Amino acid sequence: MALNSSKKLIKVFSEQALASTRNYGTVKRVVASKPVVEMDGDEMTRIIWEKIKEKLIFPYVKLECLYYDLGLPHRDATDDQVTIDAAHAILKHNMWLSPNGTIRNILGGTVFREPILCKSIPRVVPGWTHGIVIGRHAHGDQYKAQDFIISKPGKSPGVAMGMYNTDESIRAFAHSSFQVALQKKWPLYLSTKNTILKFYDGRFKDIFQEIYDGEYKKQFEDAKIWYEHRLIDDMVAQCVKSSGGFVWACKNYDGDVQSDVVAQGYGSLGMMTSVLMCPDGRTVESEAAHGTVTRHYRLHQQGRPTSTNPACVECIDSGKMTKDLVICIHGVKNTKDGMFLHTEDFLQAIADQLERKLSK
């Protein structure tokens, strides 16, 4: 597919040129067979992402990056055409970085969020001994709704909202959720409020059940796991009193809220991976804010362990961590300067740990 402003918006980085001017140490770099569509963000995330690439990616992976500047000034300058072009590049190359509402609606798929468990970080909900994966349907509902204030004459002033979803998107949501549950070998729960929204939420319930019965039931039974629909309020209560170890498929708004609740329950909002999986089985997106690295997307999708998260966890468990994690352990009042690392020092500590692991 031709990109409308590709000459202005894409910079192709040749790693051969980079390698000639940088010393990447003795570790043999992995050669990526396909390019990565990279989308840069704003402010501090932009600065941190540059450091992550330099310290944790380029020393170990040789790849071609198709670069899109999604910083607000450039989006304004292109009337947001850069976002649309980037989304089409994602569809072409099947890999991408950095979340964006427009991009999610073009790609479809489901955002799966899972806590990174560390022995040294106490859990707010101590009973959660296993992880909980939140699958957020990343399409439609309130996030593509139209809302307005009713101010013209009538019985009463007020507000109104209209929203939608599509069978195609709900089916993609279902397939992604079933596939992740099978990958994790954990049961899957879908939560809705179909007792109130009989047609809207009922559509989610019916489509999930149809797909499960027709395509996944035997696979689930063979894996000794199950699928079940629950009302959202019942599911929230069940989640809190559970020990974890399940995948929770949520509608868009529910997933937005519950993923933060679950993250904090495990100790920290920052200790959460966030990956958008598309139903094509090839295209994935990872939010850099949650500490994942581009070169591990395909391994994560295949259910294989990666080296970066263990390196991060080992670094934290050794006592090298950022201020938010120190607060989780000692509390705000007891956290003092010298007990934690600032961003650049923390990234360097992780890079050192990763170098040691890969050099063995």
In this structure, what token pair is assigned to residue 235? 């599911």
Single-letter amino acid, residue 282: R
> In the CATH hierarchy, which top-level class contains the domain 123-266?
alpha beta
List where CATH 3.40.718.10 sits in the chain. 123-266
User: Tell me: the pLDDT tens digits for 159-204?
Assistant: 999 999 999 999 999 999 998 999 899 999 999 999 999 999 999 9
- CA pseudo-torsion sign 54, 59, 61, 64: positive
The Cα-based distances of 36 to 12, 171, 203, 279 in angstroms read 10, 27, 36, 19
Q: Which DSSP symbol is given to 12? A: E
In this structure, what token pair is assigned to residue 171? 């089916």
Give the containing element (helix H, strand E) for 89. helix 81-93
Give the containing element (helix H, strand E) for 115. strand 110-115
Q: Which of 88, 110, 113, 219 is nearest to 172 (CA)?
A: 110
167 in a labelled binding site = no
Residue 108: pLDDT band with limits 50, 70, 90: low
Q: Reply yes or no on whether the pLDDT at 283 is more than 90.
A: no
Judge if pTM exceeds 0.85: no
User: Tell me: the pLDDT tens digits for 12-60?
Assistant: 333 333 433 455 555 678 888 888 778 777 776 777 788 888 888 888 8
254 in a labelled binding site = no
pLDDT > 90: percent of the chain: 31
Q: Per mean pLDDT, which of 14-28, 124-138, 284-298, 304-318 is the most reliable? A: 124-138
| C-alpha–C-alpha distance, residues 24 and 42, integer Å | 27
Q: Reply yes or no on whether the pLDDT at 293 is more than 60.
A: no
- The pLDDT assigned to 55 comes to 85
Strand-strand pairing, 188-192 and 246-250: parallel
Q: At what angle do helices 343-359 and 308-317 cross, to 10 degrees?
A: 120
User: Tell me: the pLDDT tens digits for 215-238?
Assistant: 999 999 999 999 999 999 999 999
The Cα-based distances of 304 to 108, 183, 300, 326 in angstroms read 24, 10, 6, 30
